[in-house]
Amino acid sequence: MATMDRERRRAQILTIAAEVFAEKGYHDAKIEDIVARAKVARGTFYLYFEDKRAIFEELVSGFVRQLAETIEPIETVPDSDPTRVMFELRSNLLRLVERFMAEPAMAKVLFSAAVGLDADFDRRLLTFYEEVAGLIERSLEQGEEAGLVRPGNRRIRAFCLTGIIKELLYQLILRRAVSEPAELVDTMLDLVTDGLFTDPARAAVRASSAPRATR
């Protein structure tokens, strides 16, 4: 029971810290702000975290890990069914958007508070986005091999798609743009289909009534 209480208290402090960082930014947020809102003593904070930087790093690292876990691999082989690939891609994107919407404070921390914090954090964020682009690039390569994606500069395309995803999430979460997750994802996929798919793959997707993901 004591262990469970400690875990709950630690999780509570993390949740409150995310809200404080999202509202004030990293530099203006104080440990006093976190403990006051969490209704715990300053000493209790230090039982779990060494300092402000430590709790901030844990928040960002944990959220990035959660984002990575939402993405499931999509198998593409020669003669893959384009509608199946599109359905699985849509499911991945929808889960990603819903994860951001479920944790708006952490989304703001990732897009705002963590940016420009210092050289070390900038490198971490750059590495994260490069890993995302790398995943997309490998997916494009597999799509080309399967005859679904038109040949082209996969690296540039991957960074373009990463930018599209980042900006859509930014508008949705930080600017509170009015859009349902499904509408956002479907609009983006229309753009991807028209811009990247081969004519046969695009025709197959357009002609189908592929089921919509509910996740």
- For the chain, domain boundaries: 1-49, 63-207
Token output for 113: 């508070």
pLDDT tens track for 165-212: 888 888 888 777 667 888 888 888 888 888 888 888 878 877 775 455
The yes/no answer on whether domain 1-49 falls in CATH 1.10.10.60 is yes
- Mapping DSSP to helix (H, G, I), strand (E, B) and coil, where does residue 197 land? strand
Tally Cβ neighbours within 10 Å of residue 67.
19
63-207 domain in CATH 1.10.357.10? yes
pTM for this entry: 0.80
pLDDT in tens, 22-68: 999 999 999 999 999 999 999 999 999 999 999 999 999 999 999 88
Q: Residue 74: its pLDDT value, please?
A: 82
The contacts found for 119-127 with CB under 8 angstroms, 24 or more apart, are 121/60, 124/60
Rounded to whole angstroms, how far apart are CA atoms 142 and 139?
5
For residue range 110-152, list pLDDT tens digits in order.
Answer: 888 888 888 888 888 888 889 888 888 988 888 888 888 889 9
Most trustworthy range by pLDDT among 32-36, 112-116, 155-159, 160-164: 32-36
Calculate the alpha carbon distances from 80 to 25, 26, 59, 84, 149 in Å.
46, 46, 39, 8, 11
